[in-house]
């Protein structure tokens, strides 16, 4: 089946630094990828929709200047958490939608971000 990977799987960074998370579709092309954030014991919260070659669409309340999204190719989207703070510590999950007409959706394994 189709696979979506995320890198890194977990990262610890110091407050004030920036962290980049990669989301790759390994065996299919994805014009659209989604980024979610999940806090402990809570559901996935959609942060933004990432479209290849265009600006991401952010959900209400998500700061676009803090969570930079770049979808530079049909297999890669990146989420950069800029000037991270402890409250940004969370589980970040991406998903990718096939562009071949099936519109099937696949989720990545997630990235655990801890900001100290």
Partner 1 sequence: LAKTTQPISMDSYEGQEVNITCSHNNIATNDYITWYQQFPSQGPRFIIQGYKTKVTNEVASLFIPADRKSSTLSLPRVSLSDTAVYYCLVGDQGGSYIPTFGRGTSLIVHP
Alpha carbon distances (Å) from 110 to 6, 26, 66? 6, 15, 19
CB of 16 to partner 1, least distance (A): 25
Contact between 95 and partner 1 per CB under 8 A:
yes
At 88, is the secondary structure helix, strand, or coil? helix
> Among 7, 22, 29, 49, which residue interacts with partner 1 (rule: CB under 8 A)?
49
Nearest distance from residue 60's CB to partner 1, in Å? Answer: 13
110 lines the binding site for partner 1 (CB under 8 A): yes
Determine the distance from the C-alpha atom of residue 61 to the mean position of all C-alpha atoms in its chain, rounded to a whole number. 16
Q: Which of residues 59-88 bind partner 1 (CB under 8 A)?
A: none
CB-hemisphere CA count at 13 Å for 11?
21
* By CB under 8 A, residue 105 contacts partner 1: yes
Q: Per CB under 8 A, does 36 bind partner 1?
A: yes
10 vs 83, beta carbon nearer partner 1:
10
What is the rounded CA–CA span in Å between residue 101 and residue 72?
Answer: 21
Q: Which of 59, 83, 82, 79 is nearest to 69 (CA)?
A: 79
Residue 54 contacts partner 1 per CB under 8 A: no
43 forms part of the interface with partner 1 (CB under 8 A): yes
Contact with partner 1 (CB under 8 A): which of 46, 64, 72, 116? 46
Task: Count Cα atoms within 13 angstroms, Cβ side, for 68.
Answer: 11
């Amino acid at each position: 089946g189709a696979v979506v990977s995320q890198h890194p799987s977990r990262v610890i960074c110091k407050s004030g630094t920036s962290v980049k998370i990669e989301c790759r579709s390994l065996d299919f092309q994805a014009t659209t990828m989604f980024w979610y954030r999940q806090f402990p014991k809570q559901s996935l919260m959609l942060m933004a929709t990432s479209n290849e070659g265009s600006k991401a669409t952010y959900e209400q309340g998500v700061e676009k200047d803090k969570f930079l999204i770049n979808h530079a190719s049909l297999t890669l989207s990146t989420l950069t958490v800029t000037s991270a703070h402890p409250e940004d510590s969370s589980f970040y999950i991406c998903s990718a939608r096939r562009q071949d007409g099936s519109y099937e959706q696949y989720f990545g394994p997630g990235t655990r971000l801890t900001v100290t």
